[in-house]
Amino acid sequence: MPQDLQISETLFVDAVFQPSVVTWNRLEGRPRTANFQRSLRAEVRDPLWMLTRQWQFGEFRGEDAGSAVSAKLQVNVTSLNRFSIAEDAALAYDATIPLEARVEAETIPMDLRTRIQIGRHWLRLLQQSETLISHHPEYLSEYPIEEPASAAQQSYLQADIESLQYFRMASGRYADGGRLLADVRSGAHDNFVENTLPPAARNDAKKLATDLVKWFDRVYFSPGPDEPSGWRGDYLEYQFACAAQSHADPTVQIVLTADQYHHGDLDWYAFDRIADPLSRLTSADESAIPSSNRRADKPLSFVPAPVEFAGMPAVRWWQFEDGRIDLGNINAATTDLVSLVLADFALIYSNDWIVMPYDTSSGALLNVSGLVVTDTFGIKTLIQSAGTDDTAGGDSWSMFNMMAADAGRHSEVFLAPVVSKRQEGGPIERVLIARDEMANMVWGVEQTIPGPLGTGIDGFQAVIALERHRSNSEEAAATPSTAAADIAYRLGSDVYDNWIPFIPVHNPGSNREIRLQRGAMPRFDGSQGASAIEPRGRFLRGETPMDAALQEYFVNEEAIPRAGLILTRSFQRARWWGGRIYTWLGRRKQSGRGEASSGLQFDNVVYVSSKSEET
């Protein structure tokens, strides 16, 4: 036997066999012929079984209606052309500005951070000019960054380490951008340029000042000095209106009012259509308001698509639904009408709705004049808007109708010119409005107040900081000594400085109706006497500037529910359809968390002992 063959036999004998799968088979139908016509027929071998299933599913009680295969839509479109705040005169509507920004925007506060931001940009503009970079010291001398004038702001600045460091960093390095911007707008900067800078640099300085204003208007959006504010302090919400010319008659206005907008999400449901056809938004200068863009689009033909949403019942009875959303597991009581209507729509009538794609611009009012649907049997059906039939009465329901009355004669769909998403910064002001039944008044608690840097600081910590930096010697001298007396009388207890009271007063000309007037708690400053504690934020001061004297401020009593309110003010940022980014300062109102107790008590007798003091 050859040697190589002997080795092979040895390996074969010593090998251990292990089971393994080297091929695989799949169970599937294999047609025995190349003709698939009979297989594609899907023949039913048991007609009685099919008839039974049809009877079980109620198909014998059907209307034998066909499915929609094509549709033709005719739409009349008109656009907004005027805008009005509260009851003021109408202004021309600007489609390049989001409606939320136009309604919510308020004057940008010139805090320390904003003033330094403007001053840094002014320095960059000067560095780009060879004739003006050497004149930056003149601007530092004319517009220095100074400490706050009020004692409260000085105490906040000294207590806030970040604000103090920011001030020391910018002092002597950047000009006060707030004062510089105000002088540029008023024309005082031109006088400074003419009196200080040499003739060769004056034109360049004026041009850079104009660029500074344009830059600030791009970064922050705020209303002009003559434009009213949409916030109503007596109702604690925004109120405004907009209008468009009717597509049928240009002399008739379609007026949309939003009298209760406060939640920060503006859309079609915030508007109500005024039923009176004679209602108008008038302007002091009608020639300044352009006409609405009115047009009747060509009939649009399309293939209807069924509505689809998560958890929707499958169209085919043998198909399994998505188990992530179980609409059949909705637990609703007999009084929970919203849940019952939602379940009824989703489980029963969801396959009766179709989607009609239609592209249009924002700020448009659409009126569907006709919709013709063709089914599988070739039957054409004219579909009218809900409520147009006179036999339906005035109580007919329509999903996107903005009116409750007279809906049969007005069926416009409003595409509000609002942003889809917005970025909201941290609150720079947060106020809790709560009722205090024991004190029989309403309190505005400034939980967050604007700090020196423009960011929100804790209102209670600010009160503590103010107490620390206040002179205690004069207060101690003014406090009467009660060491020798066994009892002492107190007129009233103390309340934190960030608790601002609202007391009930009668409405003018009424002996029964009341409203709430902002009051003030007294503060005793020793030899200086008593002074009123003023609010630090804009919510409780009203619309008066921070450096102006307080005016009377009233809030309607029905505007504050028993649960109270939470008011926040923060920066909003959004990108509009033109690509421009808008940043504005807006407000929001939310439901409170119930009643509060300030601990305010009057006419107390205090027993004084050597160890303790009890009331």
- Pick the residue with more confidence: 433 or 171? 433
Kindly state the tokens that stand for 57: 């599913």
Q: Please give the Cα distance from 235 to 557 (Å, whole number).
A: 9
Q: Are 492 and 541 in contact (CB under 8 A)?
A: no
The pLDDT of residue 509: 86
Ranges 187-191, 251-255, 586-590: which has the least confidence: 251-255
Band the pLDDT of 174: cuts 50, 70, 90: very high
The pLDDT of residue 447: 93
Band the pLDDT of 424: cuts 50, 70, 90: very high
How high is the mean pLDDT of the chain?
81
Q: Name which of 586, 588, 566, 585 is nearest 111 in CA terms.
A: 585
The pLDDT of residue 609: 59
* Residue 490, beta-bridge partner list: 604
Read off the pLDDT of each residue in 67-87 and give the average, rounded to a whole number: 88
Percent of the chain with pLDDT over 90: 28
Read off the pLDDT of each residue in 548-553 and give the average, rounded to a whole number: 77
Question: What residue has token string 């919203």?
Answer: 338
- Pick the residue with more confidence: 50 or 415? 415
The pLDDT of residue 615: 43
Question: Residue 124: helix, strand or coil by DSSP?
Answer: helix
List pLDDT tens digits, range 342-381.
Answer: 888 888 888 778 888 888 888 899 888 888 999 888 889 8
Ranges 136-145, 261-270, 292-301, 382-391: which has the least confidence: 382-391
Q: Are 536 and 465 in contact (CB under 8 A)?
A: no
Whether the pLDDT of residue 405 is over 50: the answer is no
Whether the pLDDT of residue 278 is over 90: the answer is no
Band the pLDDT of 296: cuts 50, 70, 90: confident
Band the pLDDT of 156: cuts 50, 70, 90: low
Tell me the backbone φ, ψ of residue 366, rounded to 5 degrees. Answer: -110, 135
Q: Please give the Cα distance from 201 to 207 (Å, whole number).
A: 10
Ranges 92-96, 525-529, 574-578: which has the least confidence: 525-529
Band the pLDDT of 10: cuts 50, 70, 90: very low
Read off the pLDDT of each residue in 186-204 and give the average, rounded to a whole number: 92
Q: Please give the Cα distance from 580 to 220 (Å, whole number).
A: 11
Band the pLDDT of 7: cuts 50, 70, 90: very low
Opening angle at CA 485, ends 479 and 488, nearest 5: 60
Ranges 133-142, 164-173, 528-537: which has the least confidence: 528-537
The pLDDT of residue 585: 93
Model's pTM, two decimal places?
0.78
List pLDDT tens digits, range 523-538.
Answer: 766 555 677 888 888 8
- Pick the residue with more confidence: 296 or 160? 296
List pLDDT tens digits, range 307-352.
Answer: 888 888 877 666 777 777 887 788 888 888 888 888 888 888 887 7
- Pick the residue with more confidence: 548 or 326? 326
Going from the C-alpha of 559 to that of each of 160, 311, 439, 541, the distances in angstroms are 36, 39, 19, 17
DSSP string over 137-187 = HHHHHHS-----SSHHHHHHHHH-HHHHHHHHHHTTTS--HHHHHHHHHHT
The pLDDT of residue 469: 63
Q: Are 106 and 231 in contact (CB under 8 A)?
A: yes
